[in-house]
């Protein structure tokens, strides 16, 4: 699920960036530092949408670096148990398949793939129904439900299922 929230971060800026463009430099550094990171608490920071305010800088003793407390608005993405996501399959193996929904990695084990889908090994490993009408392989898009998440300080990993109504392949670029 996506959230638009306000976060705060202390930015350390090298003295060489001081000058007219201090503010711009600060923001671009913030973006470089923060976007794409993951915190267990808030999820993945997808994008910074604005700066709320920048506090007074504090010169660090000895180094000359200056610390600015920056409040910024950003879009975060955090997967939840029970959430339905659309994801792209990245790897298929005998144990199941991995998929990505943006920054989130999701594993769907073979127990959570409908029973009528069989694993086919080979050049392009895939799961196929007996009549061959549905095929899950690398790069196809699936809709899945998250049934478990592991949230570490710096990463989030999910397991999902496609064994439910309206879940499964939604678009297969190979056949399209």
Binding interface with another protein (CB under 8 A): 91, 93-96, 98, 105, 107, 109-112, 121, 125, 147-150, 157, 159, 161, 163-164
Which residues on adjacent β-strands are paired with residue 39? 43
Q: Which is nearer to another protein, 14 or 150 (CB)?
A: 150
Nearest-approach distance from CB 125 to another protein, in angstroms: 6
Q: In terms of Cα–Cα distance, which of 29, 16, 10, 9 is closest to 63?
A: 16
Nearest-approach distance from CB 124 to another protein, in angstroms: 12
Nearest-approach distance from CB 156 to another protein, in angstroms: 10
Q: Which is nearer to another protein, 53 or 121 (CB)?
A: 121
Q: Which is nearer to another protein, 10 or 109 (CB)?
A: 109
Nearest-approach distance from CB 122 to another protein, in angstroms: 11
Q: Is 46 helix (H, G, I), strand (E, B) or coil?
A: strand
- Alpha carbon of 87 to those of 78, 94, 135, 148: distances in Å? 14, 19, 15, 16
Please say whether the dihedral angle defined by the alpha carbons of residues 109, 158, 86 and 173, taken in this order, is positive or negative.
negative
Q: Which is nearer to another protein, 34 or 92 (CB)?
A: 92
The two most distant CA atoms of the chain are separated, in Å, by: 71
Q: Which is nearer to another protein, 96 or 140 (CB)?
A: 96
Q: By the 8 A CB rule, do 135 and 169 touch? A: yes
Residue 11 CA to residue 58 CA, distance in Å, equals 10
Nearest-approach distance from CB 163 to another protein, in angstroms: 6
């Amino acid at each position: 699920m996506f959230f638009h929230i306000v976060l705060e971060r202390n930015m350390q800026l090298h003295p060489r960036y001081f000058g007219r463009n201090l503010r711009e430099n600060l923001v671009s550094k913030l973006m470089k530092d923060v976007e794409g990171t993951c915190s267990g608490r808030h999820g993945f920071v997808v994008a910074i949408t604005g700066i709320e305010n920048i506090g007074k800088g504090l010169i660090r003793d000895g180094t000359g670096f200056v610390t600015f407390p920056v409040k910024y608005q950003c879009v975060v993405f955090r997967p939840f148990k029970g959430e339905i996501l659309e994801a792209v399959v990245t790897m298929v193996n005998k144990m199941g398949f991995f998929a990505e929904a943006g920054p989130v990695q999701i594993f769907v084990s073979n127990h959570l793939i409908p029973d009528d889908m069989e694993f086919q090994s080979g050049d392009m490993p895939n799961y196929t129904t007996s009549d061959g009408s549905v095929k899950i392989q690398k790069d196809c898009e699936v809709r899945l439900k998250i049934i478990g998440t592991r949230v570490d300080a710096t990463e989030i990993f999910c397991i999902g299922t496609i064994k439910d109504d309206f879940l499964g392949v939604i678009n297969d670029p190979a056949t399209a």
